């Protein structure tokens, strides 16, 4: 399959079942909202070494937030509900409680599975915190130096999909980076998804296992241009650089739509091929075949 002059390799991306939470974070203006989001999403790229994979799902206008202020919906993904709940609780306490004017609401209010949020953070109030139930939802008001930190009592947890991906193979680093940015921008407009890595892009694509016993994952040498000739390569002729884009989402259709949108945005004369990472289909239950999802799209 060719899209313009870019070859779509006949392969698939292998993704996994994850659990996710959605937080709605608001602040007095864009500056402090950005500060809150940057802090809360920091060190949230890969569950290989982070407590969760976290990113902005969408930015919210004041009319779309619970308190009528600028906001953002962020998704936090992990392998277990307990793990996601712990990550969200810690990040709320360390990054959002501390950020001037920030407030935090649950974005999955109808989820049956729940974990503590404000019920965890409230103890910082040292007995001066107050609680109130509004429309069946409990909130905590924790006294802080700029007034009060408003946070919802608990956060919902739902089943999602993590690890959807595709790999750009380009003629040069500069043009591959440009294509990657086009892809990430297209994915950002796709509801229910995040690209948790820096700028949405992974240069250190991984495989399961390592020669070093202590490591769960290591470099995917088949896509490293510096190792061509030393190992069996998955790079096509003419490719001197590869970059991976990893997508987490709320369900299979969301990840599939994001992959299709990202791939179509990335194609161009400087992108020789687009492929994907998988583990032979043995580890992840979700298989996104590139040619099939592009044909369906």
Helices 173-188 and 252-266: crossing angle in degrees, nearest 10, is: 140
The distance between the two most distant Cα atoms of the chain, rounded to a whole number of Å, is 66
DSSP 196: -
Q: End-to-end distance of the chain based on CA atoms, in angstroms?
A: 14
Q: Do residues 8 and 147 lie in contact, with contact meaning Cβ atoms separated by under 8 Å?
A: no
- pLDDT tens, N- to C-terminus, the chain (297 residues): 999 999 999 999 999 999 999 999 999 999 999 999 999 999 999 999 999 999 999 999 999 999 999 999 999 999 999 999 999 999 999 999 999 999 999 999 999 999 999 999 999 999 999 999 999 999 999 999 999 999 999 999 999 999 999 999 999 999 999 999 999 999 999 999 999 999 999 999 999 889 998 898 999 999 999 999 999 999 999 999 999 999 999 999 999 999 999 999 999 999 999 999 998 888 899 999 999 999 987
The domain over range 2-15+160-296 is classified in CATH as 3.30.70.520: yes
**Token pair for residue 110?**
């109808």
CA 147, distance to chain mean position in Å, is 32
Beta carbons within 8 Å of 295's beta carbon, 6+ residues apart: none
Instruction: List the beta strands (DSSP E) in 87-153.
Output: 103-106, 113-116, 130-134, 137-144, 147-152
| Architecture of the 19-158 domain | 2-Layer Sandwich (3.30)
What are the residue ranges of CATH 3.30.70.520 in the chain? 2-15+160-296, 19-158
Q: Do residues 236 and 226 lie in contact, with contact meaning Cβ atoms separated by under 8 Å?
A: no
């Amino acid at each position: 399959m060719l899209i313009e002059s870019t070859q779509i390799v006949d392969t698939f991306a292998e993704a996994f079942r994850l659990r996710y939470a959605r937080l709605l974070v608001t602040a007095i203006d864009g500056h402090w909202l950005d500060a809150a989001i940057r802090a809360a999403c920091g060190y949230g790229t890969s569950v290989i070494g982070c407590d969760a994979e976290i990113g902005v799902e969408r930015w919210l206008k004041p009319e779309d937030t619970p308190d009528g202020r600028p906001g953002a919906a962020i998704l936090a993904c992990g392998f277990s509900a307990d793990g996601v709940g712990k990550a969200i609780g810690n990040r709320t306490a360390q990054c959002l409680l501390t950020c001037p004017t920030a407030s935090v609401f649950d974005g999955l209010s109808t989820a049956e599975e729940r974990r503590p949020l404000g019920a965890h953070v409230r103890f910082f109030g040292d007995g001066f915190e107050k609680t109130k139930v509004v429309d069946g939802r409990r909130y905590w008001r924790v006294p802080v130096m700029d007034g009060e930190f408003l946070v919802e009592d608990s956060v919902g947890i739902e089943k999602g999909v993590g690890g959807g991906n595709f790999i750009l193979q380009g003629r040069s680093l500069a043009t591959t980076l440009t294509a990657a940015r086009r892809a990430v921008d297209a994915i950002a407009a796709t509801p229910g998804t995040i690209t948790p890595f820096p700028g949405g892009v992974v240069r250190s694509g991984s495989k399961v296992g390592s020669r070093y016993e202590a490591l769960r994952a290591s470099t995917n040498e088949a896509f490293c241009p510096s190792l061509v000739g030393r190992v069996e390569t998955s790079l096509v002729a003419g490719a001197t650089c590869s970059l991976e884009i990893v997508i987490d989402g709320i369900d299979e259709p969301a990840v599939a739509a994001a992959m299709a949108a990202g791939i179509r945005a990335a194609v161009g004369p400087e992108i020789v091929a687009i492929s994907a990472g998988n583990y032979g289909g043995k580890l992840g239950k979700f298989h996104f075949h590139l040619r099939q999802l592009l044909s369906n799209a």
